Amino acid sequence: MAKSTIRFRDSVAEYERIAAAIAARQFSPVYLLMGEESYFIDRLAEQLATTVLDEAARQFNQLTVYGKDSDAGQIINLCRQMPMMGSYQVVILKEAQQLRGIEKLSLYTQKPSPTTVLVVCHKEKNVDKRSAFYKGCTAHGTVFESVRPRDYEIASWLQQFIAGKGLAIDAKALSMLTDHLGTDISKIENELRKLTVSLPEGTKRITDADIEANIGISKDFNNFELCKAVVSRDMARALRIAEHFARNPKDNPLLLTVMALFGQFKEMFVVNYLGWLARRKGQHFPSDQELMRILRKNNAFVIGEIKQAAARWDNRKVFGVLGLLREYDGKSKGIDSGGAPDGELLRELLLKIFLL
């Protein structure tokens, strides 16, 4: 199976393009919605289910079938039927990854009916791009590849998503959300929906207090505050936060904390290395705009904070911290941990960092 070269930002841009075309009632006879990230697949399928036909026509001309309970021949027969009292019929195939012999749908996708809109929701992975089925969808329909975001990509998407709702979000509140919810877009969207409903009328900016009050993430005891305490060498505060994490291990897994610290120190390492190049090699130190591109940030204020933090740690110590974080990444996964709980491992890690 061909390896995907689509990046998350490409996937988002294509999703927005397809969603706009559907809203403008520019329909394709076939939609192949595939990939690991289910959020965009679900949103497009839902949009098609509520846009192509009006509510009355859906009763007669819209069918939803499931891959596990169907076969390719049945689906082809459904797609070749004429709509009743309307211009279109819609056939939505969910869980298409469970359809045996899905490649046989190529008999239809190579020459789809102009009066049918077939929506194929193929989650968890892509279909084989070498197959006749895929090539038929590409030639005669719309293919969307849904890519999961990487850790460093989710914050930028989330800011844009929130901006689309007419809101802004503080850097700390954004970090609290991404640290707590990870890259699960469906979960993030669900939590944000609940949050926006709960915000007082007229609210334009989401703060850490809003996150704490409505999502239940502490604004004082979180990975954002822990990273801040560590890079500022505030051992007492870092250990207090670690104690809170130890009392609430399900909400504060060690793996996510290690990832947050690793990201912070990796950025500091890059800034210090660029400074070394500027001093030793006669190269210019990048501007804040250049650093935003290099570090994949979209906020100059955050760049200023990273530079201040980097100034407190020379790169020999930063390199030592990165080594410790790699070690404890393994321990968070049960490798050479001795069965110690996350809270104990985190306290041990922090003490080693402060002793460097």
**pLDDT computed for residue 2 by the predictor:** 47
Q: Closest by alpha carbon to 194, among 209, 211, 178? A: 211
Q: What is the pLDDT along the chain (356 residues), one digit of tens a residue?
A: 445 578 899 999 999 999 999 999 999 999 999 999 999 999 999 999 999 999 999 999 999 999 999 999 999 999 999 998 788 999 999 999 999 999 999 999 999 999 999 999 999 999 999 999 999 999 999 999 999 998 878 888 998 889 988 999 998 888 888 877 878 898 888 888 888 888 888 889 999 999 888 887 888 888 989 999 999 999 999 999 999 999 988 888 999 899 999 999 999 999 999 999 998 888 889 999 999 989 988 778 889 989 999 999 999 999 999 999 999 999 999 998 888 999 999 999 999 999 98
Q: Are residues 96 and 17 in the same domain?
A: yes
Q: Are residues 141 and 27 in the same domain?
A: yes
Question: Any idea what the CATH number is for the domain that residue 314 is in?
Answer: 1.20.272
**pLDDT computed for residue 240 by the predictor:** 95
Tell me if 298 is assigned to some domain. Answer: yes
- The structural domain count of the chain equals 3
Tell me if 220 is assigned to some domain. Answer: no
Tell me if 157 is assigned to some domain. Answer: yes
**pLDDT computed for residue 1 by the predictor:** 44
Domain boundary pick from 121, 146, 171: 146
| Whether the Cβ atoms of residue 251 and residue 223 lie closer than 8 Å to each other | no
How many angstroms separate the CA atoms of 28 and 16, rounded? 15
How many angstroms separate the CA atoms of 215 and 92, rounded? 34
Task: Tell which phi-psi region holds residue 216, choosing left (phi > 0), alpha (psi between -120 and 50) or beta.
Answer: left
Q: Are residues 204 and 122 in the same domain?
A: no
Q: Are residues 167 and 249 in the same domain?
A: no
Q: Closest by alpha carbon to 146, among 64, 256, 31? A: 31
Burial class (CB within 10 angstroms; exposed 0-12, middle 13-18, buried 19+) of 345: buried
Q: Are residues 204 and 328 in the same domain?
A: no
Tell me if 228 is assigned to some domain. Answer: no
How many other C-beta atoms are found inside a 10 Å radius of the C-beta of residue 278?
A: 13
Q: Are residues 74 and 50 in the same domain?
A: yes
Q: Which residues are within 8 A (CB) of 140 and not within 5 positions of it... i.e. 6 or more apart? A: 28, 29, 30, 109, 110, 111, 112
Q: Are residues 13 and 142 in the same domain?
A: yes
Q: Are residues 166 and 81 in the same domain?
A: no
Domain that holds residue 195: 151-215
Tell me if 230 is assigned to some domain. Answer: no
**pLDDT computed for residue 234 by the predictor:** 95
Tell me if 124 is assigned to some domain. Answer: yes
Domain boundary pick from 146, 164, 197: 146
Q: Which residues are within 8 A (CB) of 98 and not within 5 positions of it... i.e. 6 or more apart? A: 66, 67, 68
How many angstroms separate the CA atoms of 256 and 258, rounded? 5
SS3 state of residue 228: helix
Q: Are residues 85 and 190 in the same domain?
A: no
Q: Are residues 194 and 139 in the same domain?
A: no
Angle at 255 between CA 237 and CA 180, to 5 degrees: 70
Tell me if 346 is assigned to some domain. Answer: yes
| Whether the Cβ atoms of residue 176 and residue 219 lie closer than 8 Å to each other | yes
Question: Any idea what the CATH number is for the domain that residue 163 is in?
Answer: 1.10.8.60
How many other C-beta atoms are found inside a 10 Å radius of the C-beta of residue 173?
A: 24
Burial class (CB within 10 angstroms; exposed 0-12, middle 13-18, buried 19+) of 99: buried
Q: Are residues 116 and 190 in the same domain?
A: no
Question: Any idea what the CATH number is for the domain that residue 103 is in?
Answer: 3.40.50.300
